[in-house]
Homo-oligomer: A and B are copies of this chain.
Amino acid sequence: MTAIDTRTDVTSLYAEVQHFYARQMQLMDRRDFEAFAATFTEDGEFSHSPGQLARTRPGIVAELVRFHRRFDDDPVVRRHWFNMIVLDPQEDGSLRATYYAYVINTRPGSEPQPGPVCVVTDVLVRTDGVLSNRSRHVRQDRLLLEP
């Protein structure tokens, strides 16, 4: 891992992070879970629900396979939209990204349905010149409102 050079201005990294997310989530939405997991570090962590945490690339693939079984009899095209990305350089040379995520689901014969709105917190690192997720934590807005 190389420290991400954030000394001068994280804004210079902004397009790179946007582009990284676009490629990464198009892989997810095509259900190419191996390629998605490869955008994480070897020891990467991914939590999309409270109490759930997948570790390592094979662990992330296994979790995504498990999660998507709910769609086995539910034909749906899912699209992840990320926006309003805030970047904060960390003291260890990593980069924290905090942003909004929105899933839009399309099913046969009906209008697109909004899925949950989430706030996501990533820790990004640079490995061999390219960005990777060291971690991703997803927090659904609807869970913020539970008693």
Interface residues of A (CB under 8 A from B): 10-12, 14-16, 18-19, 21-23, 25-26, 75-77, 79-87, 98-100, 102, 104, 106-109, 111-117, 141-142, 144-146
Contacts and interface: CB of A to CB of B under 8 A. Distances in A.
A16 B22 contact: no
Nearest to A87: B19
Nearest to A107: B145
The number of times this chain is found in the oligomer is 3
A84 B81 contact: yes
A83 B86 contact: no
A101 B5 CA distance: 32
A19 B11 contact: yes
Contact of A104 (B76, B86, B102, B108): B102
A108 B15 CA distance: 35
Contacts of A144: 77, 106
A117 to B, nearest CB: 5
Contact of A142 (B22, B108, B141, B145): B108
A6 to B, nearest CB: 13
A145 B108 contact: yes
A38 to B, nearest CB: 16
A139 to B, nearest CB: 11
- Across the A-B interface, give the 3 residue pairs with the lowest CB-CB distance, nearest first: A14-B15, A106-B141, A77-B141
B19 A85 contact: yes
A138 to B, nearest CB: 14
